[in-house]
Amino acid sequence: MNNKSPIKKLLAVKGMGAALTGFAGLIIIYIAFGLINPAVFSSNNILNLLRSMSKYLLIGIAQSYVLITGNIDLSIGSMVAMSAMISATLMTLGTNPFLAVTVALLCCLVIGVINGILVGKFKLPPFIATLSTMFVGRGIAYMVNNNRNTDAIATGVGKETGDAFQNFFYYGTTAGIYNTFWIAIIMFIIFFFLLSKTRTGRHIYAIGSNIDAAKLSGVNVVATTTKTYLVSAVCSWVVGLILCAQAGMGNMEAGNMYEMYGVAAGVIGGVSPLGGTGILLGTLAGAAVWQTLENGLNMIGAQVGIQRLVIGIIVVVAVLLDIVLRSGQFSKKKKG
């Protein structure tokens, strides 16, 4: 089994099929929009696309980790809002940005740990457990600044520091590409590695495939489940900071519905909500498809309503396609 060509080996990786289908779809969609409006191909648009895609990639990673264990995290959007509101509020009060974002991180991690314990230890249905932390998180985001959005962060930390923060997370570029993209891509690489090459990653897949077998094989279910929710919390935290930097202030409604965008990005890329299957490369494809669609529909002048409608259809088509492809594969292997 070692004499296979690298390409064959790559294709043999589970979930690669769905990911590659996603990328193929991405190319088709992108070219199709480009043919209607050539501005889609402009370098400016590509840069914007990469930046706006980054947020979806991060929440896609967050949700994928949880989905692969067969659970779901509905509190992602609320953690995004908490992150944005807590860090912005602290900065408007003049707190050092490093301290501000650290406090925001800790708060998100607390939500992650609570999710992990409720689901992993107390066996609450993940839908219910994270539904409750979703409301709690959003409530906290509202309460942080007395039910108001914050003022501009520059009012507290000064224009120079404020600009530096905003540039670091959103407006600045490195090597010609927006920092946001670099942040997302670095996190993607780290979490890709963690999921595909490490012990923890294997445990995550095992839990999603068969939690009883995993337990009997010596997997610590509580710890591993909690880890997935912590990954989700960290990604949500970063997205919150990106949104805060983009607006230059904290918005209580930040990250609304993001948990569902995360599900969509994952599912388009072949991550099964039933657990056990999917790779982050697929999530990358899913996030890219999603953003390319939104961007392309924007560029050809489609209205928001149409955009939502098309995206809704794409999710179903992607999953149906996956089922059709997989059932074809299945019958090949079927034995009597």
Partner 1 sequence: MNEVIVSMENICKTFPGVKALDHVNFELRSGEVMALLGENGAGKSTLMKVLSGVYTRDDGSLKIFGKEYGDLMPKQAQEVGVAIIHQELNMCRHLSVAENMFLGREIRGRFALNNAKMEQEAKRILDDLKIDIDPKETVGELPVSKQQMVEIAKALSINAKILIMDEPTSSLTAREIEDLFRIIRKLKSEGKGIVYISHRLEELQHIVDRVTIMRDGQYITSMNFGDVTMEQIISHMVGREIKEKFPRVECQKGKKVFEVKNLNAGKMVRNINFSVYAGEIVGFAGLMGAGRTETTRAIFGVDPKESGEIYVDDRKIEIKCPVDAIRNGVVLAPEDRKKDGLCTKLSIRHNLTLPNLDIVCNKLGVVDSKKEDALCEKAVADLKIKTPDVEVDSGNLSGGNQQKVVVGKWLARDSRVVIFDEPTRGIDVGAKVEIYNLMNELKKQGIAVMFVSSEMPEVMGIADRIIVMCDGRITGEVMARDTTQNEILTLATTFEDKKINAQSGKEEI
Which residues contact partner 1 by CB under 8 A?
Answer: 1-2, 12-14, 193, 197-200, 202-203, 205-206, 208-210, 212-220, 275-277, 330-336
CA-CA distance, 65 to 72, in Å (whole number)? 9
CB of 222 to partner 1, least distance (A): 10
Residue 92, classified by CB atoms within 10 Å of its CB into exposed (0-12), middle (13-18) or buried (19+), is buried
Q: What angle do CA 175, 178, 184 make, to 5 degrees?
A: 105
What's the number of CA atoms in the CB half-sphere (13 Å) around residue 121? Answer: 10
CB of 325 to partner 1, least distance (A): 13
- Among 126, 143, 1, which residue's Cα sits nearest to residue 72? 126
Structure-block tokens of residue 310: 């098309």
Q: Which position has the token pair 């099964």?
A: 272
Structure-block tokens of residue 262: 């995360």
Closer residue to partner 1 in complex, CB, 294/322 = 322
Closer residue to partner 1 in complex, CB, 41/193 = 193
Residue 216 dihedral angles phi and psi, to the nearest 5°: -70, -15
Closer residue to partner 1 in complex, CB, 16/93 = 16
Closer residue to partner 1 in complex, CB, 198/303 = 198
Structure-block tokens of residue 325: 């492809």
CB of 116 to partner 1, least distance (A): 17
CB of 323 to partner 1, least distance (A): 14
CB of 184 to partner 1, least distance (A): 23
Closer residue to partner 1 in complex, CB, 69/292 = 69
Closer residue to partner 1 in complex, CB, 12/317 = 12
CB of 8 to partner 1, least distance (A): 10
CA-CA distance, 292 to 45, in Å (whole number)? 10
Structure-block tokens of residue 282: 């697929």
